[in-house]
Amino acid sequence: MNLLKTIALLAGVAVYGLTIYACQPTELTVDIEQNFAALPQTVLDPADNPRTPGKVALGKMLFYDPVLSGNKDVACATCHHPNFGYTDGLDLPIGVGGEGLGPNRHFSAGQTTPRTKRNTPTLLNVAFNGMNTRGQYDPATAPMFFDLRARSLESQSLMPITTFEEMRGHVFTEASAIDSVLARLRAIPAYRTSFTTVFGGSAAISAQTLGKALAAYERTLLANNAPIDRYLRGDRAAMTPAQKRGMVLFVQNGCNTCHNGPMFSDYKTHVLGVADNDKLGYTDTGSNGAYAFRTPSLRNSALTAPYMHNGKQQSLADVLVFYDVVKDGTQLNSNVPVARLDSLLRPRVTRSNDLIEFLHALTDTTFDKSIPASVPSGLPVGGTIQ
Ligand code: HEC
Ligand code: HEC
């Protein structure tokens, strides 16, 4: 038997390298290869949007350029910023009408825009969204958002531009937002040149090419060399003893019934009954009004606090407390009766530091943190984030 395959937990101490034959009846073992898999080193593109260095460079400019927003003050990077693991460190994001970066971001005096409805997910490894337990995925139909309402990075990337509180604001109507932004881009010589070089043709700046360039850049935001990846590829020293113990607990607690595959998500929605966030001012009913939300990837979660679809839990320890409280049949959201909670929520939760250590082993801090020095519009890089 492969030594990598089995971790034996003996009297609370991880004895690494024991085979299953050596196990005493009191030992708790987990088949590692059966339950876990590393992320691949390369990324698939949809057939109609192959990556090229020029396309990725163009997408990066667009990602950091607030010219895509109505007031020219919000960029994709305002909420998805490398300093915060390509998220914003807030429970609910502040787009239009805000200033500052990360947890320091706040509404400017006198503005009336509401917060954005949901917690900002990281874009690290978003290229792998939809990956199943066998490592298969289709970038052309990859699921996006907590309620799975978008498919593929190409189509998702136009949506923040038309959303009022994210980027559009009062300047454009929803129907005219994309065309107005495209007209702005056509008026900037550096964008005209780049789009023509990358996509060719006389009408190189279109909604389609804008989406394609942004998506191509997003597919380069990888964090696929976490300790768990190195461990699963054969480097036994890549994870600490506590992380290895946590790995066993993760399976024993049934966490991997939903957080599975190389991305630690089944990309399905589940009813967990997380309490509403009062800052929103209304209840978020999730997918199809059923209070179901997509299982988030647990990759890089050490960098993406606060947690859940509305940032209700401040820390990973808080998340474990949440699961522990819910398993006792406590109703946390007055709109979600306990009987409607997902049956896969197991009646066993260990509030263990080892489990948190294991979640840290899913984080790879060596990702691309580079920010362009300037963007073609000449506007502040990343929007009003100073
Ligand atoms: C105001 C903050 C904000 C801005 C600006 C913003 N986003 Fe997001 N982004 C979010 C939030 C919040 C979600 C989750 C929404 C949901 O699930 O309903 C999200 C989700 C996403 C997702 C889906 C990730 C996943 O795993 O489901 C992608 C991809 C994405 N954004 C890319 C972009 C791009 C590209 C831009 C710029 C064109 C952008 N975002 C601008 C806040 C923002
Ligand atoms: C029934 C499926 C299911 C099970 C079992 C499950 N989770 Fe989750 N997990 C989810 C869903 C769905 C969410 C998002 C809920 C929401 O936002 O309302 C989530 C959210 C999380 C988050 C927050 C991630 C983020 O970025 O916001 C963490 C951390 C987490 N789970 C860890 C665990 C651990 C540890 C276990 C085992 C004790 C576990 N989960 C068991 C489905 C599950």
pLDDT at 11: 32
- What is the atom index within ligand 1 of the atom nearest the CA of 96? 1
188-231 pLDDT, tens digit per residue, is 999 999 999 999 988 899 999 999 999 999 999 999 999 999 99
**pLDDT value at residue 26:** 34
CA torsion angle for 84, 89, 94, 99 (degrees, to 10)? -60
- Residue 71 C-beta-side C-alpha neighbours within 13 Å: 18
Burial label for 296, CB within 10 Å (0-12, 13-18, 19+), is buried
Residue 158, both tokens = 């136009």
Percent of the chain with pLDDT over 90: 85
Q: What does the pLDDT look like over 286-333, one tens digit per residue?
A: 999 999 999 999 999 999 999 999 999 999 999 999 999 998 889 999
With 50 as the cut, is the pLDDT of residue 233 above it?
yes
Q: And the tokens for 235?
A: 């480097």
For residues 227, 228, 229, 232, the Cα torsion angle rounded to the nearest 10 degrees is 120
pLDDT (tens digit, 9 = 90+) per residue, 2-22?
A: 444 444 443 333 333 333 333
Tokens read off for 215: 């998506």
Check if 257 has its Cβ closer than 6 Å to any atom of ligand 2. Answer: yes
Q: Whose CA is nearest to atom 19 of ligand 1?
A: 120
Q: Which one, of 103, 86, 78, lies nearest residue 311 by Cα?
A: 103
Q: How many residues does the chain have?
A: 386
- Distance CA(161)–CA(158), nearest Å, equals 6
CA of 121 to the centre of ligand 1 (A): 7
Ligand 2 contacts CB of residue 298 (under 6 A): yes
Question: The tokens of 354 are what?
Answer: 């080892």
Contacts of 235 (CB under 8 A, 6+ apart): none
Mean pLDDT, the chain, as a whole number?
A: 92
Start-to-end CA distance of the chain, whole Å, equals 56
- Residue 119 vs residues 1, 107, 293, 358: alpha-carbon distances, Å: 43, 17, 12, 23
Candidate of 86, 116, 148, 301 to mutate for ligand 1, largest count of ligand atoms within 8 Å of Cβ: 116
Å from CA of 319 to ligand 2 middle: 8
Specify the residue for token string 């808080």.
318
Do 254 and 348 meet the contact criterion of CB atoms below 8 Å apart? yes
**Cis peptide preceding 296, ω within 30 of 0:** no
Distance CA 184, CA 178 (A): 10
Q: What is the pLDDT of residues 79-118, one digit of tens each?
A: 999 999 999 999 999 999 999 999 999 999 988 889 999 9
133-162, pLDDT tens digit by residue? 999 999 999 999 999 999 999 999 999 999
CA 252 to chain centre: 25
Model confidence band, residue 345 (pLDDT cutoffs 50, 70, 90):
confident
pLDDT at residue 347, as a whole number: 67
Of 24-38, 163-177, 331-345, give the lowest mean pLDDT range: 24-38
